[in-house]
Structure 1
Amino acid sequence: MCSQRRKSRRRTAAGAELELNGSPPSSPRAPGTAGGYGLHFAQLILVLASGAPAAAIAQEPGREGPARIAVESAPRPTAAALRTDAPPTVDGRLDEPVWQQAQPLTGFVQSRPDTGAPATENTVVYFVYDDRALYIGAICHDSEPDRYFISSLKQDFNSGSSDVFGVALDTYLDRRNGFMFLVNPGGALKDVQLFDDSRSENQAWEGPIRVETARHDEGWTVEIEIPFSTLRFNPSEEDQTWGLQILRRIRRKAEDTFWAPLDRRDQIHKMSKAGTLTGFRGVGPGLNLRVKPYALAQDQTGTLIDEGRAGTQADIGFDVKYGVTPGLTLDLTYNTDFAQVEVDQEQVNLTRFPLFFPEKRDFFVENSGTFAFGDQSERSYRTGVSLRDFTLFHSRRIGLTGRGEPIPILGGARLTGRTGGFEVGLMNLQTRSGRGLPAENFSVMRARRSVFGTSDVGAIFINREATGSDIGGHPDFNRNVGFDANLRPLPSLLFAPFLAWTDSPDTDGNTLAGRMWVGWRDELWDVSALWRHVGEDFNPTVGFVRRRDIRQSYATVGLHPRPPVPGVQEVNPYIEIDHIQDLESVLVTRRRTAGFGISFLNGSGLSVDYTDRFELLREPFRVSSDGTLPIGRYNFGSGSVQYRSAPGRALTGFVRVERGGFFDGTLTSLSGGLMWRPNHHLSVDVSANHNDISLPDGEFTADVFGGRVDYGFSTKVFASAFVQYNAAEDQFVTNVRFNYLYSPLSDIFLVYTERRDLDAGMTVERVFAAKVSKSIGF
C-alpha cells in the first residue's frame, strides 16, 4: 500500500457513511475493451499460420497497453501474517488499528484479459491472526464503484458471473491441496475444498466462516474470519508456512488479477503456482468437534412412493465431525436424510448408453475428490473423456436406485485427510432393505502419495456386500481394486494411467479395465492422446461405466493463439479423432471432429464444429416409441454452432444449433437458455432442449423444458422454484425450496416436490418436507 494515505467517505451496504483509510486507485482502462468484435480475419490467419505464442504477440511493436511481465517465469511472492491480541471486529469496515499495522499486499497482475499487465484497479489485502482464527481484510478500489456486479446472495454463488475477492490457502504447503474462499460485494460466500492442484474441487464443503462487506465511494471492502478449527494443518510445526493465492475479479471488464501471477488458462486453485504466507506461530485447531442433529417431518403420496413410506412421518438423525488428528477428520452419520436436496434435472438421451447423473447429497459430495478414480477431466486439457464415461466409485449407487429413488441409509463413517505422507479416505455405510433390494454394506478405502513434487500414485478398494436375513443364504458381493497415477515430469506434460479389476460371484470373464492418457498444454498447444480398455465383464456396481467390451484410441491437437485483434481474447482451432473397437478389434464407433472457437474479451464465446461419425449396431436400437434403428453400419455427420453471451450482465444466455445426419435419418437440435438478473436478489432462468428426428420409419421429437426462479432475501434467507417438463415421458416436475441459514452451518428447510404424469392425468409423487438442523461446535 502507498505510504501516503488519505481519508475519504464511504457508504456501507446499509447506506451509513464511514471513514476509510486507503490509497487512491490507479485506474487505466483495460486494453482492447473498445471497438466491438469486428474480426480481422487476415490477422487471425497470419497468427494461426505463424504459430506465434502469446508472449511474443504481447510484445509486438505498436501494441498498446502497459508493460507486461512473463507470468510463467515471474517469481512467486511472499508475505507475512501479523499476530495480534486485539482482533478486528468483522463488520466490513477495516477501521481497527490492527489493519494499519499489518503488511499490505498489492501489485496484482492480470491473467485476463491482458495477461501479465498490471491490474487496472488497485487491491490491498491484509492478514492478521490470533490464537483462535485468521482474519483477512481487503480494500477493492474501483474507479466506477456503482458498476460492480453481484450475481447472487446465496451461498456458493456463481463466481464466474460476479465481482469477486478470493483467497486460496494451501495449509500443508504441499502445492496440491487447500481451501478457497470467494466473496462478492453483497457478502455472499463460496467456500470450497481443493484437490490435486486444480484437478478437482468440492463445492459442498462448508465451514463456520464469517464474512462482512461494505460498499463505498472508492469501491468495496471485505473482512473474513476463518477459525483455525475449520482448516486442516500440522500444529506440531511451531512456525507455519502456507501457500497463498489471491484473486480480484472485475466482471464488467472481464478482468481477473492475481497476487501470484498466473496465465489465463490457470485458476486461483492452481496451488503449485501460488505464493507463500508466513508468520504463523503457536496456532492450533483446538478440539475440532462439531455435532449437527436434525429433525424432519414429511408427508409423501403418489404411486412412486413405497407403501411403508407413504403418509406423514417424522424422523431424527445426526452428523458428527471430529478432528481425530491435525490431519485426519472423522465424519459419522446416523439415519442420514437428504430431503433438502434438489431434484435431478431431466435429460434427453439419444444414445444407446446410460446417462450419468451427478451427486448432489452433501455427505457424499464433501471430500469427494479424495475418492475420485477414473476418467477425470484435466483442467485446460482436452481429454475426450470424463467421469461421466468411467468412474470406479460413484456414490449415487449408495442409498439410491438406478431411477434415483431413495433407499434408507442407516448410518456410516468416513475418515479423510493426511497422515504419514499419504492422503487417505476410508468410508463405510450401511443401508436398510427397500425397493426390492436387500440391506447392503458399502466400504471404500483410498490412498494416494505425493511423489516428485506435484505427481502422485494411488490405490483404491471398494466392497459392496448384501447383509441381513433377506439374502437367501447366497453370497452377494462386488469388489473392485484400482491403481492410478498422475505424473508431471514437466510443467506442461502430464501422464494419467490407471488399472482396475472387478470381482463378483457370478463373473469369471474379462473383468479388467485400464487406460493411459498423456497430455501437453502450454500457452499455445493443447495436445493429448488416450488409450483405454474396458472388459466385457468389468462391472463396478458402486461405479459408473458408460461402455464395456471396448478398446478406445483418442487423440487431439489444438492451438490457443492470442491474436492482436480488437475484442478477441484467444482463438482455438482443433481436431479430434476417436476410435472405439470391441475386444475382437471390430470398429464399433468412430468420431472425427474439426472445430474452431473464439473467446472474446468480454467473456463471451463462439464455437463451430463438424463431426463425421460411424456407428455399428449389432442389435436394434429403440430411439423412442416412434422410432427403432435396425442392425447395420451407419455413416453420418453433423455440424453445430454455439454462442454464449458475456456473464455479468442483467440478461445472459446461450444458444446451440446442431444439424445433420442421425444414423440413417436426420437430426435438428436446438437448445438454449436465458438468465435474467434484474438485481442481486432475483434471478430467473429458462432453458429448452428441442430435438427433431426423422427416420425412415417415422418422425418424432424429444424435448425437455425447464424454468427456475431464485430469490435471495439476504445472505441468510433464500427461496427457489424449479420446474421441468419432459415431453418424452410426458411428466411435469416441480421443486420448491425455502432455506433459512439461521446460524453458521445450521438450516431450516421447507421443500415441496411434485411429479405429475400428464398422459395418465395423475400425480405419481408428491412430497412436502420440513427439516431443521443445528450445528454445535466444541
Structure 2
Amino acid sequence: MNNVKRPIIFFTLIFFTINIKAQDSTGVVPKKIYVTKPIEQTVPPTVDGLLTDEAWDLVEWAGDYIEFQPDENTSPSHQTKFKIVYDSKNLYIGVRCYDSEPDKIVKRLSRRDGFEGDWVEFNIDSYHDKRTSFSFTVTAAGVKGDEFVSNNGNNWDESWNPIWYTKTNIDEEGWTAELRIPLSQLKFGKEDEQVWGLQSTRRFFRAEERSLWQRKPIDTPGWVSEFGELHGLKQIEPQNQLEIQPYTVTSAETYEAEDGNPFRDGSENDVTVGLDAKIGVTNDLTLDLTVNPDFGQVEADPSAIALDGFQIFFREQRPFFVENKNIFDFRVSQSEAGDTFGFDNVFYSRRIGRSPQGSPSTGDNEFVDQPDNTPIIGAAKFSGKTKDGWAIGVLESVTAKRYALISNDVGEERKEVVEPLTNYFVGRLQKDFNNRNSYIGGIFTATNRDNLTQELDFLHKSAFTGGIDFKHQWNERDWYVGGNVIFSHVSGSEEAIKNTQESITHLFQRVGADHVELDTTKTSLSGTGGNLQIGKVGNGHWKFESGATWRSPELELNDIGFQRQADDIRHYTWIGYQTLKPDSTFRRVGINYNHWSAWDFNGNHNVLRFNTNSWQNWKNNWFSNLGITYTAMQYSNFALRGGPRLRQSSGVNMWNSVGTDRRKKLSFNMFQRTSRAFDNSNRFYYVEAGATYQPINALRISAFPSLSTNNDKLQFIDNFDDVNGTPRYLNGHIRQRTLSMSFRLNYTINPNLTIQYWGQPFISRGRYSSFKHIVNPTAKQFENRFQSYEEDQVTLVDDTYSIDENLNGVEDFSFDNPDFSFVQFRSNLVIRWEYIPGSEIFLVWSQDVSQNGDPSDGLLSSLGDNIFGQKPQNIFLLKATYRFVL
C-alpha cells in the first residue's frame, strides 16, 4: 500500500505547491445598455466594411471593452467600439477594432466557423431568456462564424448556419467590419418595444487576448445570463422563415471485382435527388423537413477496435441531426467528475439510418448484395424556444425496409429482409421559470418496427423511453441542484427479449447474479435510470459537484439511445480549484480532485477510484495537463460475458499532455497515457504526438501519428458451457499493438471556396498466448483466479486450438485462433463552394481499404502490404444544392 500512496502524495504536492497569485472577483457588475435606433429616412448601410454610410450617424458608439483573458478586469491592449441600427427586415452592426500596428493584423483564412486569426463576435439573446443566444463572428479576413448558444453558454452549436452578410476592411487605425443580420434568422417576441441580451467579444490575436463589452468575472457562472442589454428596438415584427433547398447527387463507385460475384463487378453508378426545407411556423418555432437526405460529404468515422465487447460511440456528423441537437440532448449521467458513462443518452441519432441489423442465410455458391445503410425516407424536426421560456423539440423519421439480394451460380435470385420499415419519434420539452434560474423538462421517444419477419424476429417490435430532468440555481447561479429520472420499456418476441437479457449490456444469465434471472418467456422488459447532483460553480476559486447515478438491470435504451451497461449504482465527487489572475508563470491553472464508487443492484461494491489532476495555461500560451488515478478496487460483472463477477487488479493510470502555442505557424501537441496493475497483470500505453503547420494564411496541414500497446494477461476469449461437467471461461494473454495516423489538409481559396482532405491509415494487431480458464474469479491474488494450460495441453492445427486437459489424447474443447490483424485506410477529399449564401456545390472523393492481415507480420510491413498493395474502394460524388429563401 505504501507504493500506492507515494505517487498520489507526490502528484498532490506538485499541484498544490504551484505558486499562485490570484484574487477573487467581488461586487456586482452593473449591466451595460446600448440604445439603438431605427433607419427611417436614411438609406441602410451598404455592407462593404467601410463604415462611411450616413445611417451610422444615427447612433452613438459603444466601447470601453474590458479584458477577459488572460487578465480579467484590466484594460485591453487595444480598444473596440461598435454601433447598431435596424430597419424592418435587418439588424446592422458596424464595428471598429483599433490596432496600432495594422500591418500585423492576422488574416488567416479558413472554412466557415474556423475562428482563425483576429476576430470580433456579437452574441444576441433575442429571447432575453438568459440561457440561449445567437452568435455571429467575423474574422479580419472576412470569414464568417455562427453558433447557437444554449444551456447558458455550456453548449455552442456550430452546425447552425443562418444567412447573413459581412465585409471587413483594414486601414491605418486597425480594422473594421459591417454585419447585416436578417431578422428572419433571429427569434424574438411580439412586444412593441424589445429588450435583448447583448455581448461582444474581441480576439486580439497577437497577445491571445479576449476583451468584452460587458464585463464578466472569471468566477461568475454562466455566459448568456451575464450579458448587457440592447434597447431601442421598437415596432419590429417577428419574421417567419421559409427556405427550401433541393439537391441532386451524381455518384460513381469503383472497387476490386470478385470473380463470379454478380454484385461485385467493379463499379456502380447512381443519381439521386432530395429536398431539405426550413419553415418558420412562428418566429419562435421552426419545422425542418428532409426527403431522401444525402450525407455523402460527411467525413468517415475514424477506425477503432473494442476488445471489451461494448459498442463504440461515434459522434453525429450529419447536418440534419446536428442542427439544434442541444434541444434533444438528454444525457443519462453527465458529471464534472466523469467516469459515469457520460456518453449514454436517451437519444442517439446515429441509430436512424444505421446499417441493417439482419443478415441473410445463404448456402454454398451463393452471393449476397448486403446494403451498407438504411435510407431515411423522410424526416421532420419541429424545434425552437418561445419567448416565455418553452423549449420544444419534436423529431419524426421513417427509414425504409431494406432487402439483401441473394444470387447463386446459375443466376437465380431471391430477397430477404435485413431491416424493417421503422418509425422513430422523439419529443422534448423544457420550461424555464424562477426568473430563468430554474427549469424542468421531459423527453419521450418511441421506436416502432413494422411487420417483423421470422428472420428479423430478434429485433424489438417497439421501444419506448421517457424521462424528466430539472435544474435549480440560486445565489446568483453560484449553486445548483439538478438531475433526471428515466424509464424504458421494450417489447417483442420471446427471442427478442431473451437476446436483450443476454446482451452484454445486461447479462441476466451471468453466474452468481442472484438479483436477476434469465426469463425466456418474457415478451417485454422495463427499467429505470437517473442522476441527481448538487454543485457550486461560481464566486471564488473553489468549485465542486457531488451526486449519484443509477441504471437498473432492466434499463434498455439502445433502440434509439446509447447505453453501454446497466445494473450500476455510482457515486461521484469532484472538487476543483482555479486561479482568477495570471502571474509570472501561468495565465491560468486548475487543480481537481475526483473519486468514484460503484455498486450493482445485488449490493456488490465493484469500483473504488481516486483521482487528482491539473491543467496549466502557461505565460507563453503553452498548454499542459497531468493526472493520476488510483484504482483501489475493481470488479467487473461483464468481463467474462455471462460468467461470474471477476476481480480485476488494483493499479494506477497516469496521463499528461503538452501543447505549444496554437497561434504559431508551427505548433506541436503530445498526449500520453499509461496504466499498470500493481501485480503486473496488465499494462497499457498510448502516445499521440503531432504537428500543425500553417505556412500561409490559406493553408493548414496537420499530422498526428499514434501508437498504443496493450498487454493483458486476462483477456476474454470465449465461454464453454460444459467441459468435463463444468463450464470454462477461457482467457489468454494478449499482446496488442495499434498504430494509426490522422492527416489533415485545409486549403481556403476564399471564405466560400475550400479544399479539405482527411486520411487515416490504421492497423491493430493482437497475438494471444498463455491460455487459461477462470477457477476462482474473486481471489485476491491474481495467480489464484485462473488455471493455466501447459504447452502439452494445447495444440494448434489449421488455425484451430485444441485443448486436452487431462492429457488422455481426447480433445476436451477447441476454439479458433483468436490472433488478429485488422488494417484499414480511410480518406475524404472535399471541395466545397458556397456560390451564393446558403447554396453549395460539393465534389467528394472517398477511399476505403479494409483488410485482415497476417498477425505474424510486423506492424509497418503489414500496413504497407494491405493498403498500398490493394485496390481501394473509391466513391466519387458531385452534390449541388440551391437554397430558396421565400
- Which TM-score band (shorter chain)? 0.7 to 0.9
Matched residue type, 1:641? N
CA distance in 2, matches of 1:266, 1:681: 37
- Match of 1:212, SS state, is strand
Residue in 2 that maps onto 1:596: 614
TM-score, with structure 1 as normaliser: 0.86
Structure 1: gaps spanning 5 or more residues: 1-40, 56-69, 623-628
CA distance in 1, matches of 2:257, 2:36: 57
Do 2:35 and 2:232's aligned partners in 1 also have CA atoms closer than 8 Å? yes
Matched, 1:520 2:549: no
Aligned counterpart for 2:37 among listed residues 60, 82, 91: 82
1:463-478 → structure 2 map (5 Å cutoff):
463-467=446-450, 476-478=461-463
Do 2:216 and 2:226's aligned partners in 1 also have CA atoms closer than 8 Å? yes
Do 2:122 and 2:201's aligned partners in 1 also have CA atoms closer than 8 Å? yes
Displacement of 1:548 in angstroms is: 1.6
Aligned counterpart for 2:660 among listed residues 636, 639, 645: 645
Residue in 2 that maps onto 1:407: 374
Matched, 1:745 2:868: no
Displacement of 1:689 in angstroms is: 2.1
Do 1:304 and 1:764's aligned partners in 2 also have CA atoms closer than 8 Å? no
Residue in 2 that maps onto 1:239: 193
CA distance in 2, matches of 1:648, 1:75: 34
CA distance in 1, matches of 2:105, 2:609: 44
Matched, 1:152 2:102: no
CA distance in 2, matches of 1:90, 1:140: 17
CA distance in 2, matches of 1:151, 1:202: 22
CA distance in 2, matches of 1:102, 1:471: 72
Displacement of 1:351 in angstroms is: 5.2
CA distance in 1, matches of 2:88, 2:638: 68
Q: Quick check: 550-559 or 340-349, which moved more?
A: 340-349
Aligned counterpart for 2:54 among listed residues 70, 73, 97: 97
- Match of 1:233, SS state, is coil
CA displacement 1:709-753 (0-9 Å, x = unmatched): 010000110001110012113101111111000011100001111
Change in Cα spacing, 1:265 to 1:154, as seen in structure 2 (3 Å) is: farther
CA distance in 1, matches of 2:392, 2:638: 44
Residue in 2 that maps onto 1:54: 23
Q: Give the aligned length.
A: 709
1:196-211 → structure 2 map (5 Å cutoff):
196-211=151-166
Higher relative contact order (CA 8 A, sep 6+): 1
Change in Cα spacing, 1:484 to 1:346, as seen in structure 2 (3 Å) is: same
CA distance in 2, matches of 1:304, 1:632: 49
Change in Cα spacing, 1:312 to 1:254, as seen in structure 2 (3 Å) is: same
Residue in 1 that maps onto 2:589: 571
CA distance in 1, matches of 2:275, 2:120: 34
Residue in 2 that maps onto 1:448: 430
Change in Cα spacing, 1:701 to 1:518, as seen in structure 2 (3 Å) is: same
Do 1:563 and 1:571's aligned partners in 2 also have CA atoms closer than 8 Å? no
Matched, 1:666 2:656: no
CA distance in 2, matches of 1:319, 1:71: 50
Do 1:254 and 1:601's aligned partners in 2 also have CA atoms closer than 8 Å? no
Matched, 1:433 2:401: yes
Q: Quick check: 489-498 or 119-128, which moved more?
A: 489-498
Do 1:199 and 1:377's aligned partners in 2 also have CA atoms closer than 8 Å? no
Do 2:340 and 2:570's aligned partners in 1 also have CA atoms closer than 8 Å? no
Q: Quick check: 690-699 or 664-673, which moved more?
A: 690-699
Displacement of 1:42 in angstroms is: 11
Q: Quick check: 277-286 or 735-744, which moved more?
A: 277-286
Q: Quick check: 718-727 or 646-655, which moved more?
A: 646-655
Do 2:550 and 2:569's aligned partners in 1 also have CA atoms closer than 8 Å? yes
Change in Cα spacing, 1:424 to 1:549, as seen in structure 2 (3 Å) is: same
Matched, 1:115 2:72: yes
Displacement of 1:388 in angstroms is: 4.7
Displacement of 1:633 in angstroms is: 2.5
Identity, in percent, stands at: 23
Aligned counterpart for 1:701 among listed residues 737, 750, 774: 737
Residue in 2 that maps onto 1:496: 482
Change in Cα spacing, 1:377 to 1:552, as seen in structure 2 (3 Å) is: closer
Displacement of 1:692 in angstroms is: 1.8
Residue in 2 that maps onto 1:581: 599
Matched, 1:212 2:167: yes
CA distance in 1, matches of 2:647, 2:240: 65
Displacement of 1:571 in angstroms is: 2.3
TM-score, with structure 2 as normaliser: 0.75
Aligned counterpart for 1:259 among listed residues 205, 213, 220: 213
Residue in 2 that maps onto 1:60: none
CA distance in 2, matches of 1:186, 1:265: 33
Q: Quick check: 304-313 or 541-550, which moved more?
A: 304-313
Matched, 1:337 2:306: no
Matched residue type, 1:444? V
- Match of 1:174, SS state, is coil
Matched, 1:164 2:119: yes
Residue in 1 that maps onto 2:628: 610
Larger Rg: 2
Do 1:510 and 1:535's aligned partners in 2 also have CA atoms closer than 8 Å? no
Matched residue type, 2:158? Q
Q: Quick check: 462-471 or 603-612, which moved more?
A: 462-471
Structure 2: gaps spanning 5 or more residues: 1-12, 358-370, 405-417, 492-496, 498-522, 714-732, 765-821, 854-865
Do 1:299 and 1:313's aligned partners in 2 also have CA atoms closer than 8 Å? yes
Change in Cα spacing, 1:700 to 1:304, as seen in structure 2 (3 Å) is: farther
Do 2:134 and 2:149's aligned partners in 1 also have CA atoms closer than 8 Å? yes
Do 2:84 and 2:93's aligned partners in 1 also have CA atoms closer than 8 Å? yes
Do 2:422 and 2:448's aligned partners in 1 also have CA atoms closer than 8 Å? yes
Change in Cα spacing, 1:345 to 1:143, as seen in structure 2 (3 Å) is: farther
Matched residue type, 2:80? T
Matched, 1:360 2:325: no
1:167-178 → structure 2 map (5 Å cutoff):
167-178=122-133
CA displacement 1:7-39 (0-9 Å, x = unmatched): xxxxxxxxxxxxxxxxxxxxxxxxxxxxxxxxx
Change in Cα spacing, 1:150 to 1:401, as seen in structure 2 (3 Å) is: farther
Displacement of 1:606 in angstroms is: 1.8
Aligned counterpart for 1:483 among listed residues 447, 465, 468: 468
CA distance in 2, matches of 1:727, 1:676: 26
